[in-house]
């Protein structure tokens, strides 16, 4: 067990005071058998006129803020401490009927997984379908897990990572054609690839850390920005996590904050302001993950 401290700060600057619209923040992690929250804190400047918490349709914690005063800056700083219990490396157990492709989910599962199996982006030339199919064909026995591992590793090996501060996602066909993207782009691309194989997938936003650096000088075990990956539903294993940016499988190095059907629904921060087009100057995001 490790106690992790996470500090996530987003700061906007404007040329002159603007009217701030409603903002929606997702930064509180999801408690689970591998993560237990100890304490949390949230700083917002300027002081909101209204602040309320809610759970969205996926059970994610969301804070919504409204502002009465105008301001030339806006800061959200979320922090929390949590006990993390990394799961031991172990064999991933899958129901026998789902160990080879193709397979069909049970009637009960299909009723709940339906929207997570739907393609979200156009692919008129079936480029993503063909890309994914070659990894199915390369696996002689069409073993479900091996195909997913091959796809996860191929994205890490063949695509070039390019970090972007602003939240947005490239269409998967664009990611494929240019051979590069951010962690969000890679996650959405893999979601579309596995959905083309008839599997259910969902988008995850949160934080990444490197447990190999725990105890190193300064205790820094991750940081820089939020991270994105995906989950694929496999009967018997449940929602299994894949991080194509780093070719990771399982949630050992991942702290889940939001889970959703598409990337937009898991945006860490969404909001607006009223002013001229030249008023916006900059956005700066910093994430620090340390081990106590």
CA torsion angle 133 138 139 142 (round to 10): 30
The pLDDT assigned to 210 comes to 75
Assess contact for 251 and 151: CB atoms under 8 A: no
170 and 73 within one domain: no
Match 């995001």 to its residue by tokens: 285
Closest CA to 260 of 93, 65, 77, 62: 62
233 and 144 within one domain: yes
256 and 112 within one domain: yes
CATH value at residue 135: 3.10.620.30
What domain count does the chain have?
2
pLDDT tens-digit profile, the chain (292 residues): 788 999 999 999 999 999 999 999 999 998 888 889 999 999 999 999 999 999 999 999 999 999 999 999 999 999 999 998 876 666 789 999 999 999 999 999 999 999 999 999 999 999 999 999 999 999 999 999 999 999 999 999 999 998 876 668 999 999 999 999 999 999 999 999 999 999 999 999 999 887 666 555 555 455 567 899 999 999 999 999 999 999 989 877 889 999 999 999 999 999 999 999 899 999 999 998 888 7
177 and 63 within one domain: no
The pLDDT assigned to 26 comes to 94
Q: Identify the three-state secondary structure at position 195.
A: helix
231 and 181 within one domain: yes
167 and 101 within one domain: yes
159 and 175 within one domain: yes
The pLDDT assigned to 172 comes to 97
193 and 49 within one domain: no
The pLDDT assigned to 221 comes to 53
Look at residue 245 and tell me if it is in a domain.
yes
Q: Which range of residues forms the domain containing residue 24?
A: 2-85+268-291
CA distances from 115 to 62, 78, 120, 126 (A): 22, 31, 10, 20
Q: Which pTM was predicted?
A: 0.91
100 and 201 within one domain: yes
119 and 8 within one domain: no
The pLDDT assigned to 34 comes to 86
CA distance 202 to 198: 13
193 and 237 within one domain: yes
Q: CB-hemisphere CA count at 13 Å for 50?
A: 9
Strands of the sheet with 248-249, listed across from one edge:
248-249, 238-243, 227-234, 201-208, 254-260
CA distance 71 to 280: 12
């Amino acid at each position: 067990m490790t106690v992790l401290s996470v500090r996530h700060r987003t700061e906007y600057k404007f040329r002159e005071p603007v009217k701030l619209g409603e903002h929606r923040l997702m930064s509180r992690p999801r408690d689970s058998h591998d993560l237990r929250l100890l304490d949390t804190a949230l700083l917002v400047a300027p002081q909101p006129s209204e602040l309320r918490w809610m759970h969205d349709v996926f059970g994610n914690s969301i804070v919504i803020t409204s502002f009465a005063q105008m301001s030339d800056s806006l800061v959200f700083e979320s922090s929390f401490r949590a006990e993390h219990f990394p799961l031991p490396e172990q064999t991933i157990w899958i129901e026998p009927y789902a160990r080879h492709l193709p397979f069909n989910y049970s009637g009960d599962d299909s009723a709940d997984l339906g929207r997570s199996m739907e393609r979200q982006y156009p692919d008129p030339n079936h480029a993503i379908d063909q890309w994914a199919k070659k990894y199915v064909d390369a696996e002689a026995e069409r073993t479900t897990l091996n195909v997913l591992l091959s796809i996860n590793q191929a994205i890490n090996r063949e695509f070039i990572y390019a970090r972007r501060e602003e939240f947005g996602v490239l269409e998967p066909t664009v990611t494929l054609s240019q051979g590069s993207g951010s962690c969000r782009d890679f996650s959405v691309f893999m979601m579309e690839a596995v959905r083309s194989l008839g599997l259910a997938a969902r988008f995850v936003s949160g934080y990444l850390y490197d447990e190999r650096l725990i105890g190193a000088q300064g205790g820094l075990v991750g940081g820089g920005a939020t991270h994105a990956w995906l989950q694929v539903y496999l009967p018997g294993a449940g929602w299994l996590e894949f991080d194509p940016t780093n070719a990771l499988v399982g949630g050992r190095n991942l702290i889940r904050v939001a889970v959703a059907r598409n990337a937009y629904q898991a945006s860490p921060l969404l909001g607006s302001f009223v002013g001229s087009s030249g008023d916006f100057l900059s956005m700066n995001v910093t994430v620090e993950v340390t081990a106590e």
